[in-house]
Amino acid sequence: HVDDWNIGHLNTILDVVERESGITIEGVNTPYLYFGMWKTSFAWHTEDMDLYSINYLHFGEPKSWYSIPPEHGKRLERLAKGESRFFPGSAQSCEAFLRHKMTVISPFILKKYGIPFDKVTQEAGEFMVTFPYGYHAGFNHGFNCAESTNFATLRWIEYGKQAVLSHCEAQSKTDMSPVAFQLRTKPLIPEMCFTTTSCNTELNLSAPFLEEDGTSLLISCRKCNVCVHASCYGVPKDKAVEGWMCSRCEEDAMTQDCCLCTLRGGALQKANDNRWVHVMCAVAIAEAKFVNIAERRPVDISKIPLMRFRLVLHRKYFVEFICGDRPKAASSILSLQGKDADRDIVLGQTVIAKHKNGRYYQSEVVKLTKETFYEVNFDDGSFSDNLFPEDIVSRDCLNLGPPAAGDIVQVRWTDGLVYGAKFVASHTIQMYQVEFEDGSQLPAKRDDVYTLDEELPKKVKSRLSVASDMRFTEIFTEQEVKQEVKRQRVINSRYREDYIEPALYRAIME
């Protein structure tokens, strides 16, 4: 019987809104699912209308919370709004800007200004309840799934009467009126982009489907659910109603794609040759133009050169995403002759590898081995994928093999301390023992070894050297420096008359 803990059946006074008024506010009086990843966070905020909230963590990594007692909520607001503090500009534009959920203040700052707070870590299978006017923030330790909703009690009513609302947030999910809310936002593409082409010089700056404040209604196709601004797609106000369908769905041309790019779906309009074009492609390509600018159709593509149609990257051109062992900014590299990780490296081959001095040199592959590495997720949210089996101290992995996925293990780290972690997987990786010109040998993974015909990344090129330290230093002769001979000290002419020879000084002292 799940009614006792199912947060979708709390039966509080907030459910009266749904039963009597027929209003469903997603995430407020209906449950919401939240999927978290490593380091995803939620900023300081209170719930809509200062309601209670309940959060149940179904599975996955923990979620850490910071909370401020409701009686100290005003102190946080004064700190954030103060003219000499952190967000005075946001406070001037919106009195309730903290409801935008974009304000991040470190707990160290709260401690500095004497604002009390509590920290708690929510594990899978546990509930978290926040109280009215209780500011809270937090972050996820890794991938997880939580279910949350709001609820109310008689105690909340007075809080709800005094709640300060944000009227500048178009995305606010709480609308207490029974009138359906129509979302309007400002299009990112100026109207001039729809009227300017390489073929015409006359500008038609009229915007028949834009509101006076520059916003436009967002509408979704009833059939394919594509969401567009009415002004961008050329939909008049009388047709921008519920049940509207895009041009492709109206003509039942769901199998048609854009003839100017390889992306499927999207906001398509018909061209003058019965093909289909993305509205964005028509804007981006100078030779294309809208025959009827207001309606955004048809699209005249007769001036586009044939070589521009369906520009497709060659199969060997690819995008490689590189992520480090620790969370940091990922970089995307478009390479015409990228690093082929599957290309075999043979014994005796000359490669480029990283020396212990941090620079890259040519070296020779002298040995091929297979190494087993373990991957774990630590309790603090960090991870490692290059642990040796002997680093697991809670299990004899060399004799018993790796733990089962999800097992709790103890790991001895490089600082000599033991940390708790959860075992993820075991990986067997091809290792290459390379020998440099100075005679030193180092093991390296395939990602750290480059063949002579591979294109080197910029960071490798900047550290590439011709040769490492020479191995045969005995063939060179060096003149021995006499350490016992001291350099004659020159006396400052200013104090020459006061100078006493050391021998005379010793005689005087004796």
The pLDDT tens digits of the residues spanning 297-307 come to 899 988 887 66
Active-site option among 32, 45, 64, 160: 45
**Digit-coded pLDDT (tens) for 191-200:** 777 765 555 5
Q: Residue 109 belongs to what H/E stretch?
A: helix 107-112
> Does some domain include residue 112?
yes
11 and 138 in a single domain? The answer is yes
36 and 142 in a single domain? The answer is yes
Sequential DSSP letters for 251-306: TT-TT--BSSSS--SSSEEEBTTS-EEEHHHHHHSTT-EESSTTTT-SEE-TTS-G
**439 classed as catalytic:** no
> Does some domain include residue 100?
yes
**pLDDT(147) > 90:** yes
Query: Pairing state of beta strands 268-270 and 227-229?
Result: unpaired
pLDDT in the model for residue 167: 63
12 and 145 in a single domain? The answer is yes
155 and 39 in a single domain? The answer is yes
> Does some domain include residue 326?
no
- pTM higher than 0.75, yes or no? no
> Does some domain include residue 484?
no
Which DSSP state fits 128? E
199 and 292 in a single domain? The answer is yes
**419 classed as catalytic:** no
252 and 299 in a single domain? The answer is yes
**Digit-coded pLDDT (tens) for 315-349:** 334 444 444 444 434 333 334 344 444 467 888 89
> Does some domain include residue 324?
no
> Does some domain include residue 118?
yes
391 and 463 in a single domain? The answer is yes
Active-site option among 148, 216, 363, 468: 148
**47 classed as catalytic:** yes
User: How many alpha carbons fall within 13 Å on the CB side of residue 510?
Assistant: 6
CB 214 within 8 A of CB 195: no
Active-site option among 27, 214, 338, 381: 27
Q: How many domains does the chain have?
A: 3
What CATH number did the domain enclosing 60 receive?
A: 2.60.120.650
CA 43 to chain centre: 15
What CATH number did the domain enclosing 413 receive?
A: 3.10.330.70
> Does some domain include residue 32?
yes
366 and 306 in a single domain? The answer is no
116 and 234 in a single domain? The answer is no
16 and 157 in a single domain? The answer is yes
**27 classed as catalytic:** yes
Active-site option among 47, 61, 77, 191: 47
Q: Determine the structural domain holding residue 412 and report its residue range.
A: 350-474
Sequential DSSP letters for 3-51: TTT-GGG---TTHHHHHHH----BTTTB-EEEEE-TT-EEEEE--GGG-
126 and 212 in a single domain? The answer is no
Indicate the pLDDT class of residue 422, thresholds 50, 70 and 90: very high
> Does some domain include residue 332?
no
What's the chain's length in residues? 510
127 and 20 in a single domain? The answer is yes
Active-site option among 61, 77, 133, 136: 136
**136 classed as catalytic:** yes
